[in-house]
Amino acid sequence: MAGLTACGSDGGGDDDKGGKGGGDKAGGSPAQSALAALKAASTTTEQQKSARVDGDQKQTVQGQAMNSTNKGSFDWSEGGMTGKAEITMQGGAAMGAGNKPMQARYLPDAMYIQMAAGAAQGKWIEYDYDVLAKKAGPSGAYMKDQIQNNNPARSVQLLMATGKVKAVGSESVRGVKATHYTGDVKLSELTRMQSKDLSESDLQALEQQFQQQGLTKERIDLWIDDKDLLVKKRETAKNKQGTTSVDNTVYYTDYGTDVNVTEPSGAVSFEKMMSGGAGAGAS
C-alpha cells in the first residue's frame, strides 16, 4: 500500500543500455565511486522534500498473483509521509474492485481509500496506522513504519548501508540519462535497516515470516540522474520455488512539486466496518 518499498532475484535493466562502469565522483575503486555517488544522491533527493511517483508492484504469495499500479505525489518535508495517489489493483486482494482505480490519501496517522466498486463504492475508508499495527501484528507494524517514515532517499541509504553496491552502466530512464547501481541485501538485515520504530519482537517475527516464505534476500536497483536525483528504483525478491515473489518498480519525477492533502469527510474506519459497527453504504 505504501507504493514505496517491497521485498533476491536478478533485477532487470531499462530502456537503452550504455557501457559498463558508472560515475567517478570520488575516484578510487569502483565501489568507492559508487558509494560516493549514492551519498550525493541521498542528500540531494532528501532535500527535495516531495516528488511525483509512478509505481508498479507485482506480487505472488503461495502461487496467487496480484498486481497494483499507483500514480500520485508524496511529501516528506515534515519527516513523515503525506500524499495522494490513484491505485489500480488486479487479482488476489483486489477484492472485487473490478480493476477500477481507487483514490488514496496518506496523512501522518492514517491512510484513506475511496472504494471503487461493491457495496461501499464511493465510500472513503479510514485505515488508522495504530489499528493496523494492532490487528495485523508484525506485518501491520512494519507497514505503519514504512508509510510513516519512508521517502525516496531511504532506498539510496539502504543500498549504501550494504556496502556491496556496484555501478552497472549508463541507461535511459524514460528519456532521462541515469547511472544504474545495484546490490543485494539479506532480508534479515533489511527490516532492521529500514525500520525506525519496530520493536525487537516485531523484527524477529518478520524475519521468521520471511524464512517461512523462503525469502532470504532482496535485490535493489537504483537509477540516479546527472542532478544526483533518484529517478527509478526496483526491488525484487523471490523464493527458490517461485511461489512467493515481489517485484516493485517506482519512477520519481517533478521533485519539489506541491502536495496538498486533506482528510476526506465522512470516512468510515476499517475497524468499524469489520466489526459491523457501520454499514458499507453508510454516509
Average pLDDT over residues 133-162: 76
End-to-end CA distance of the chain: 25
Tell me whether residue 164 is in a domain: yes
Residue 23 lies in a domain: no
Domain that holds residue 227: 30-275
pLDDT class of 163 with cuts at 50, 70, 90: confident
Domain annotation covers residue 5 = no
Q: What is the pLDDT of residue 136?
A: 72
CA-wise closest residue to 51 among 269, 255, 207: 255
Question: Residue 126 has what pLDDT?
Answer: 94
Collapsing DSSP to helix, strand or coil, 217 comes out as strand
Residue 212 belongs to some domain of the structure: yes
In a domain, 152, yes or no: yes
Read off the CATH number of the domain in which 63 is found: 2.50.20.20
The packing angle between helices 187-194 and 152-162, to 10°, is 130
Which secondary structure element, helix H or strand E, spans residue 192, and what is its range?
helix 187-194
In a domain, 13, yes or no: no
Do residues 87 and 247 make contact, with C-beta atoms less than 8 angstroms apart?
Answer: no
What confidence score (pLDDT) does residue 215 get? 62
Could you give the CA distance from residue 42 to residue 4 in angstroms, rounded to a whole number?
15
pLDDT digit string (tens) for 16-26? 443 334 444 44
Query: Residue 162 domain-assigned?
Result: yes
Q: pLDDT tens digit string along 185-238?
A: 776 565 555 555 556 666 566 556 666 655 667 888 999 999 999 999 998 887
Domain count, the chain: 1
Q: Which helix (H) or strand (E) holds 250?
A: strand 245-253
Radius of gyration of the chain (CA): 19
Please report whether residue 174 resides in a domain.
yes
Region for 86 from its dihedrals, namely left if φ exceeds 0, alpha if ψ lies in -120 to 50, beta otherwise: beta
Give residue for cell 503461495.
62
